[in-house]
Amino acid sequence: MRYICFYFQVHQPIRLRTYRFFDIGINHNYYDDYQNQYILRRVADKCYLPMNQLLFELIQEFGQRFKVSFSITGTALEQFERYAPEVIESFKLLAETGSVEFLAETYSHSLASVISKDEFYSQINLHQDKLKSLIGVKPSTAFRNTELIYSDQIGEYVADLGYKVMLAEGAKHILGWKSPHFLYYNVINPELKLLLKDYQLSDDIAFRFSNRQWDQWPLTAEKYVDWLNAIDSKHEVVNLFMDYETFGEHQWKETGIFDFMRALPYRIFSHSDYEFATPTELSELLQPVAPLHVPYPTSWADEERDLTAWLGNELQEDAFNTLYSLRDKVSQTDDPDIYRDWLYLQTSDHFYYMCTKWFSDGDVHKYFNPYGSPYDAYINYMNILSDFIIRIDKKIEEKTSFQELKHTTSDTKTQKTEKSTITSKKKKTTHDVQITSDGDNIKFTKEQIDKLAEEFTPREIAILFKQLSDNTVKSIKNKLNKDLKIKVEKELAKTMRPRKETINKILNKFNDLIK
């Protein structure tokens, strides 16, 4: 028995409007609502709705034998809510069939995984919540990262959250002699299985389908199944990963793409020994054959299959680093508008528009790019970022001055009412509990760890971790059992602003523990 795994990526960025330097500090609306609505409506009508319908009918026909998987970004979901709620309804219908798996990913299709683990985790959580509230599913076993970006390190992050299987690119120069037709595992954490894209067969559908210069044009289900059958029968899985927009948007209806997809399952069932499976099923059905070494991040983009489409030149690096340097400040503001913009600005598409590799993959880039040149994209983005920074600073300033104000007024109040006790009270400063021994030198016994697991909630452990040195955190983490570790990681990803007393209480408890 061999398997075919269809995975479709559904993504729409929230596109930025033309934002001039004289808007900075004055205008805080960054988005091209007209364009976003127009494009979303168009793609919904040409692709999402008809293709969902087609898949639904195929599932009706073949029942559990026909299966596909999706990941839908948070920014796409939000725009469905706003401009095309019927798309959400049709995905819900698909979810209810039980033949469709939805994968976890980052909320805003961001590159957070390559720069900030905390942000990465926070976005995964956010995405899960959104998917749960709109489609009613909460993916917890299968993960795919933005643009199939994968490295050993990122795999480890994902494994730490408890995911069992992750999708990655399987291009030849990444795999070497290995074949993408088997299950692999992460080299750091073997618990995480890897499914690799068969770029040849995937791109035959996604890119070449309508290309009349291609010597295999026109592509028929018969021909495609012949190719599938030509694969060595010992190979176990063919992973066909592609943009969902392939169907009806990149490849127009007139090219026959829908007819092809309608015919393909029939042909597969009648003329081959392949069955369909979802990523989670495959992680259980198949035995992993080897670890995969990927020291540097890879992706499914361009000839290079690396990050250079987003982080390949000075413009992109400057914009990217400027953005992520704001993370701490953004969480300090505690402002929902700022947080929303923070998410939207992280979408990888903004960096893709600044790419200067026109020559090899110029056409693909042009197709997706609303800007005349990378310079235009960069200047527009930086103007917006300039305004965003002003807003953040202003918000933080407001907050601190407000807190100072609160402080002084409460001080005067106390002065008036409890004059006598004031001296004794003032001595008690805010952060009064210190960890008794030097954080880096604590050696933890098994009893201590067990006691920690027993007496502390995951949230308390997370708060504690924020107070301890990195080394100490690491030495505790390694000894925690896996379930607890995942829970703690999830807590860590949330924005935490515990009260001083809570922290003091936890630190006291911890001090007791290590005595």
Catalytic residue annotation? 147
CA–CA distance, 131 with 76 (Å, rounded to integer): 11
Cβ distance to another protein smaller for residue 38 or 375:
375
Least CB distance from residue 17 to another protein, whole Å? 13
Least CB distance from residue 345 to another protein, whole Å? 16
Exposed, middle or buried: residue 184 (CB in 10 Å: 0-12, 13-18, 19+)?
A: buried
Say whether the peptide bond before residue 218 is cis (omega within 30 degrees of 0). yes
Least CB distance from residue 304 to another protein, whole Å? 18
Cβ distance to another protein smaller for residue 377 or 473:
377
The DSSP code sequence of 101-159 is EE-B--TT-B-GGGT-HHHHHHHHHHHHHHHHHHTS----SEE--GGG-B-HHHHHHHH
Cβ distance to another protein smaller for residue 358 or 368:
358
Count CB-CB contacts under 10 A for residue 506: 22
Whether the CB-CB separation of 210 and 218 falls below 8 Å is answered with no
Cβ distance to another protein smaller for residue 91 or 378:
378
Least CB distance from residue 317 to another protein, whole Å? 7
Whether the CB-CB separation of 444 and 475 falls below 8 Å is answered with yes
Least CB distance from residue 391 to another protein, whole Å? 18
Whether the CB-CB separation of 151 and 111 falls below 8 Å is answered with no
Q: Could you tell me how many helices (H) and strands (E) the chain has, helices first?
A: 24, 12
CA–CA distance, 95 with 68 (Å, rounded to integer): 10
In angstroms, what CA-CA distances link 503 with 29, 473, 474, 498? 38, 16, 20, 7
Least CB distance from residue 149 to another protein, whole Å? 23
Cβ distance to another protein smaller for residue 374 or 458:
374
* Cβ-proximal residues to 340 (8 Å cutoff; 6+ apart), any chain: none
Provide φ and ψ at 9, rounded to 5°. Answer: -95, 125
Count CB-CB contacts under 10 A for residue 302: 16
Provide φ and ψ at 68, rounded to 5°. Answer: -140, 170
Least CB distance from residue 379 to another protein, whole Å? 3
Length of the chain: 515
Cβ distance to another protein smaller for residue 168 or 309:
309
Least CB distance from residue 261 to another protein, whole Å? 38
Residues that bind another protein (CB under 8 A): 20-22, 313-315, 317-319, 356, 358, 372-373, 375-376, 378-379, 382-383, 386
CA–CA distance, 378 with 350 (Å, rounded to integer): 8
CA–CA distance, 405 with 402 (Å, rounded to integer): 5
Cβ distance to another protein smaller for residue 289 or 379:
379
